[in-house]
Amino acid sequence: MSNWDEFVGSGATQLPSLGWEGDNAGTATSYGNSHEPDGDEGGSIFSLGRVQFALSSPLLSLSCCSNILLLTLKGTTPSPQIVRIDLDTPTEVETIDVPLVTPTQTHRTHVDPTGKHVVFSTATGENWYLFVGPLPSSHVGARKPKPLPRLKGAVIESVSWSSVPSSSLYSTSALLLGTSTGQILETTLLDSSITDHSAFSLPGRSGVERYVKNLYTLPERAGITGLRGEIWGSGASRRAVVVVATKTRIYQFVGGMPGSAGARRNEDDCVFEGLFGAYQGSEAAQPKSLELPGEPTNSELHFFAPLKIDQKGVAVATALPKSVAWLTGPGIYHGPLLFPSPPTPLPPGESLISTASLLPYPSEPTAATSYGSSQAGPGAVSDDEGKTEMPLSMVLTEWHFVLLYENCVRVVGLMSGRVVWEEELILPDGSKPVRLVADPLRRTYWLFTASAIYELVIKDEDRDVWKVYLGKSDWDRARRFAKTPKQRDMVLGAEADHYFTSGKFIQAAQCYAQSTRSFEEVALAFVDRNERDALRYYLGAKLERLGRGDLTQRMMVATWLVEIFLSKINQLEDMAAAERAKDDVENFNVEQVMLEDDMRQFLVTYKDNLDEKTVFDLLSSHGRDDMTLFYADLVGDHERIVTHWILEEEWKKALAALGKQDHLDLYYRFAPVLFRHSAKEAVESFMRQPNLDVRRLIPALVVPRRAGAEKQSSSPEHVIRYLQWAISDLQNTDPSVHNTLLTLLATDTTSPEGQLLHFLSASPDNPLTSQPYYSLDYALRLCRTHKRVQSCVMIYSKMGLYEASVDLALESDDLELAKINADKPEEDELLRKKLWLKIAKHVVGKKNDIKTAMRFLESTDLLKIEDILPFFPDFVVIDDFKDEICTALEGYSAHIERLKEDMDEATRSAEAIKSDIDDLRDRFVVVDASEKCGSCGQQLLTRQFYVFPCQHAFHADCLINEVTKHLSPTALRRMLDLQSQLAPSAPPKTRRQLEDSHNAGRKLAAASVQGLDQLRKLVLPDALLSIVGGAIPGGGTGGKKRDAMGTSAKKEAGEKQGLRNKLDELLASSCVLCEGGIASVDRPFVDEGEEM
């Protein structure tokens, strides 16, 4: 193991930051006349730099795979050396010696794409295998190449490594070997010194080569310079291809994989034996082959395969190759590869190289010819101006061929066949370039001589691919590879120009719209060619791309499109009218329908960018009524729609259009004409819009009739129905509406009076006036004018003129109506009786029939037989209604008996009450001697007291104090008034106190809450006690004094006793603890102004 510094010479030139020598590698030349990149955009795509690495001995070969650089050096001993450098850690350099038996020239070094396996071949047929991947931690010692004894004598020219990973990290999968004698061998290699190989061993098989199988030998036994095998598919549909190249021939072995429906049984099974079996034997198929003339000194076979990227964005493997290039004598044979999948057949002998072509090598420019004019394109041959030379080596990239010559490196475009970049190699005397190599995973490219290493850096390789496709008029691919807006615009402009010159104006319009070509230029070009359809497509596409803020431009373009649409529609109509052939007429009609649909969609999309007045003017000038209606509906111009249908006398369509909008003013404006011609539908439309002001509709619904005019076509029934709906469902309270409905019902001779009566009776009343919303006076005059007698009677009744209503009913001899109105004054029984007497008088006077009069009496309880007797004539014989009189007398007698019984019951109740009062006077309560006052808690019997039925007892003065706390202001003032009235009977001292208290009480009579508290203080318990208790007369002298009292004195004593009783009732009407406690529940514990 050596360090990187050991390989860096002291005299090496200092390199740029990327590690390249930019000055001593050569002079680069770009070709500007091709469609490939010229290095002007973002710098050159290609750059060649020398690697800053000093070689210890001449370099024999170089390989780079998976960023692992493997150098084969001649070495200081007869044995060559292999130097391994991981470019991710370039300071770690590993050197491995290859112990050759005989010192001989190294022939080839083959490295697999993963950079782990190396096959070393010599010109004498000695072959070695070396594992250069990461070693296991258990491995001890340095790497040692392993000889391949079973391959001894075979000079390996080429190797095809399997793309299928092996089950072991230290083993190769099945690989194909191409020898210098035209043999195709298959083997699997394993270094048994690194890992236990027991799992891979079979009886009779040992060594590094697990097996070696000779699959096929080319007929001419020429050396195989290129070899590639691929397997795709799965299961029974697995397929394989092996491409073999010699210096002059290329072979393709294709077919299925017999016996490989499943996976290999183990690592020692041959993989491609079944494929080559189809090309051997008596009935063997012949592989697809191609021979090219010439005797080239070297030949190479290269493939380009896309990368497989993992989730981290790192390339982990290559997919199936998509192109192949074969370096031959006449030129580069190249083409894409197609791998068909089942069920596409793939018999042996088929070719997978599609549309292959031969690209001659570019000619060498002479001294007098510049690079820009001496490139040999496809099919070019050498001439006097220059000569062609076969490259030493080649590398195939995705878009270019990189060719190595003795004095320069050239890059040729894969599609154009032109040289796009060249750099001259300035090498020391005697130094020649050896070969170009590529890292298929990391996409790095290397050039080496015996003494130096160069790297070809390709940056943004597909940057100018769009130019190539542009030159080939492949517009789709050119747009796909254009990376900047400027490039895409150039492609679109070129494509549009191509279509325009070819007469494909629609396609040109679409491309022009996407480009930045001048709007005026394009529009004028289409106008000059009279291509209105293309202009329409162009304007439409351009309008889509205009910014939202370009309001003026959007309006102008959109308006222009409207005019173009209308002109085209009229043109199609004219063509259809002038055409005689039926099929052509139908085609024109279909095209017109499609164009009208497009215009409608256009109006919907860009209605915000159009000026309504301008568009309506355009539509009107072209006579497109249908489109005018559509646009009016779109922008909400319902007035225009309704007006149109009214002018067309399409009343139902006008109402339908009116119903689609919510502007009420349009209803009021068009209601007269619509109702006049389609009353029923108009009313239904009005009823669907409950927000209408019915009062504003009345002038349109009710048209005054002129004297002598014919009957109107519209019956008032629809107006009546609408007004009834407005009153009942909308709860309309407008008096004008109610009066209008009343007028229609009263004046309509075709309508029965029952409808008017129902309205008069069911019409709601105004809660503020308790009167109907219609005018009663107007209703009465109207009904009298049109002789609506029953209605007049009802109106009189609503006005409270019951006598007039009954009189009018009797005038019309409508006895039942009179009876109904006679019962209406329910609270005035005298008036009811008076009205019934009127009816009775009418019945007796008009009918003059006693039986009819008797039946009339049965219909009311207010009249008796004696009430109607005065109405009969004097000559009426009593015998005719004797039974009725007897029945009446019997009724009176029964009523008198009931009254007598009620009087007796009342007398008995009075006597019972008197007895109870007498019993109450003798009621007593037993008071215990230890009983205490319920207020002060002292002995009760010490002074005057009160005892309540609830057994609560209080001193008289304590009771007065407690009662005044709970009395209402009214009761309190009543107590003070009684206190003042009883003052004259009190002792002199007490009388003065009471008088002072009475005067203060008057001053506080109208006081506030504070005055109420002062009133309570004016109550004098001691004074009241002396008044209520009174002076108890002593001994028998009291009786004499009472006898000596006069009448006036007795009267005065009785009045005072009554006052005392009232005062006593205020104090002792209820227990202050029971009833008073309940009354003071809401009283706060602390009164306002008191402190806690």
Question: What number of other Cβ atoms are within 10 A of residue 611's Cβ?
Answer: 11
- How many helices (H) and strands (E) would you count in the chain? 35, 38
- Find the Cα–Cα–Cα–Cα dihedral 762, 766, 771, 777, rounded to 10°: -90
Tell me: the pLDDT tens digits for 736-761? Answer: 999 988 888 888 877 788 888 888 88
Nearest to 687 by CA among 715, 670, 679: 679
What single string gives the DSSP state of each residue in 749-760? TTS-HHHHHHHH
Per-residue three-class SS string for 328-374: CCCEEEEEEECCCCCCCCCCCCCCCECCCEEEECCEEECCCCCHHHC
The series of mean pLDDT values per 10 residues for the chain, 1092 residues long, is 36 32 47 42 84 89 93 83 90 86 75 92 90 81 86 94 82 92 94 62 64 93 94 87 95 82 59 89 85 90 92 87 94 94 86 91 57 38 59 95 94 91 90 93 93 93 90 91 91 93 92 90 91 90 87 91 90 81 78 89 90 91 89 89 90 89 87 88 89 88 58 68 89 89 85 84 86 88 86 83 82 76 76 77 67 66 64 61 71 83 89 79 78 88 84 86 80 78 64 59 49 69 65 39 61 77 78 74 64 60
Length of the chain as a residue count: 1092
Task: Identify the residue whose tokens are 């492609």.
Answer: 491
> Which of 963, 939, 931, 936 has its CA nearest to residue 1077?
963
Q: Which residues pair with 112 in a beta bridge?
A: none
Residue listed under structure tokens 């007897």: 886
> Pick from 1014, 1003, 930, 937: which is nearest to 972 by CA?
1014
For the four alpha carbons of 417, 423, 429 and 435, in that order, the dihedral sign comes to negative
User: Rounded to whole angstroms, how far apart are CA atoms 301 and 334?
Assistant: 10
Given the structure tokens 């590993």, which residue do they identify?
A: 94
Alpha helix positions (H), 460-531: 465-471, 475-481, 485-501, 505-514, 519-528
Q: Is the peptide bond before 343 cis (omega within 30 degrees of 0)?
A: yes
Q: What angle do CA 585, 590, 596 make, to 5 degrees?
A: 125
Task: Report pLDDT for 1007.
Answer: 45
> What is the C-alpha separation between 434 and 412, in angstroms, rounded?
20
Q: What is the pLDDT of residue 752?
A: 80
Quick one: how far is CA 803 from the chain centroid? 74
The dihedral built from the CA positions of residue 406, 409, 413 and 418, taken in this order, carries a sign that is: negative
Bridge partner residues of 175 (DSSP)? 187
pLDDT at position 965, please? Answer: 78
The residues, any chain, with a CB within 8 Å of residue 43's CB and separated by 6 or more, are 459
Report residue 204 as tokens. 């009779």
pLDDT computed for residue 1081 by the predictor: 67
